[in-house]
Amino acid sequence: MASTEPDFKRFVFIIIDGAPYAIFKGLLENGDLPNIKKYVVDPGSLNKAVSVFPSTTGPAFIPFFMGLYPGTANIPGIRWLSKSKFHTPHRFKRPGVCSYMGLDGLRFEADLPSGFPTLFNFFSPVSNIYNLLARGCPPAKNLTRWIKPFVYTYAHFSHRWRFVNRIAIRQFHKAIEAGDKFVMCLFPAIDTFSHLSDIQSPQVFQTYREIDTAIGNLVHTLQKANTLEETLILITSDHGMTNTHTHIDVPQHLDDGGWRCLHYPKVWRQGTVSASMVSGNGMTHLYFKNSGKGKGWGERAPFEQLCQMGVVGSLIELKGLGLVAGQSETGDIIVQSRGGQGKISCHAQDTDDENPQRATTAFKCADALRFSYQFTGTDPLGYGVHYKNLSSRDALRETYDSPYPDGIVQLWQIFKSERTGDLVLSAESGYDLRARYEIPEHHATHGALIAEHLHIPLATNYPITEQCIRSVDVFPTVLNLCGHNISEQYIDGRVVK
Task: Report yes or no: 453 and 279 within 8 Å, Cβ to Cβ.
Answer: no
**Based on CB atoms, which residue is closest to Zn ion, 191 or 379?**
191
Number of residues in contact with Zn ion, rule: CB under 5 A?
1
Q: Which residue is nearest to Zn ion (CB)?
A: 191
Q: What is the per-residue DSSP string for 268-319?
A: T-SS-SEEEEEETBTEEEEEE--TTSSSSS-SPPPHHHHHHTTHHHHHHTST
Minimum distance between the CB of residue 310 and Zn ion, rounded to whole angstroms? Answer: 33
> How many Cβ atoms sit within 10 Å of the Cβ of residue 273?
16
Q: Are 175 and 129 in contact (CB under 8 A)?
A: yes
Closer to Zn ion at the Cβ: 60 or 381?
Answer: 60
Beta carbon of residue 124, minimum distance to Zn ion (angstroms, whole number) = 32
User: Does position 422 bind Zn ion by CB under 5 A?
Assistant: no
Binding part of the chain for Zn ion, among 191-199, 316-324, 357-365, 471-479 by CB under 5 A, reads 191-199
Q: How far is the CB of 57 from Zn ion (least distance, A)?
A: 6
- Minimum CB distance to Zn ion smaller for 191 or for 332: 191
Is the CB of 18 or the CB of 380 nearer to Zn ion? 18
191 binds Zn ion per the rule CB under 5 A? yes
Query: What is the chain's alpha carbon radius of gyration, rounded to the nearest angstrom?
Result: 22
Span near Zn ion by CB under 5 A; candidates 188-196, 198-206, 215-223, 313-321: 188-196
CA distance 111 to 106: 10
Report which of 285, 288, 277 is spatially closest to residue 310, judged by C-alpha positions.
288
Using alpha carbons, select from 387, 411, 375, 325 the residue that is nearest to residue 70.
411
Question: Closest separation between CB of residue 280 and Zn ion, Å?
Answer: 6
- Shortest Å, Cβ 22 to Zn ion: 17
Task: Choose between 454 and 491: whose C-beta lies nearer to Zn ion.
Answer: 454
Q: In this structure, are residues 283 and 54 in contact, taking their beta carbons and an 8 Å threshold?
A: yes
- Taking the complex as a whole, the smallest distance from the CB of residue 442 to Zn ion amounts, in Å, to 8
Q: Least Å distance between CB 241 and Zn ion?
A: 7
Q: How far apart are CA 249 and CA 278, in angstroms?
A: 11
Q: Which stretch binds Zn ion (CB under 5 A): 65-73, 75-83, 183-191, 355-363?
A: 183-191
Shortest distance, position 328 Cβ to Zn ion, whole Å: 32
Cβ at position 18, least distance to Zn ion in Å: 6
Identify which of residues 191 and 422 has a Cβ nearer to Zn ion in the complex.
191
Query: Closest CB to Zn ion among 241 and 408?
Result: 241
Give the nearer residue to Zn ion in terms of CB position, either 55 or 327.
55
Binding span for Zn ion by CB under 5 A among 150-158, 184-192, 249-257, 265-273:
184-192
CB of 414 to Zn ion, least distance (A): 18
Q: State which residue, 82 or 194, has the beta carbon closest to Zn ion.
A: 194
Do 369 and 435 meet the contact criterion of CB atoms below 8 Å apart?
A: no
C-beta separation of 287 from 339 below 8 A: no
Q: Do the strands 97-99 and 126-129 form a parallel or antiparallel pair, or are they unpaired?
A: unpaired
Rounded CA separation 32/27 (Å) = 5
- Binding letters toward Zn ion, positions 131-170, x by CB under 5 A: ----------------------------------------
d(CA 2, CA 24): 29
3-state secondary structure of 154: helix
Asked if the bond preceding 265 is cis, omega within 30° of 0, the reply is yes
Q: Which are the contacts of 104, defined by CB distance < 8 A and separation ≥ 6?
A: 94, 98
Q: Is 238 an interacting residue with respect to Zn ion (CB under 5 A)?
A: no
Q: Which residue, 336 or 426, is less far from Zn ion as judged by CB? A: 426
Which residues in this chain contact Zn ion in the complex, by CB under 5 A? 191
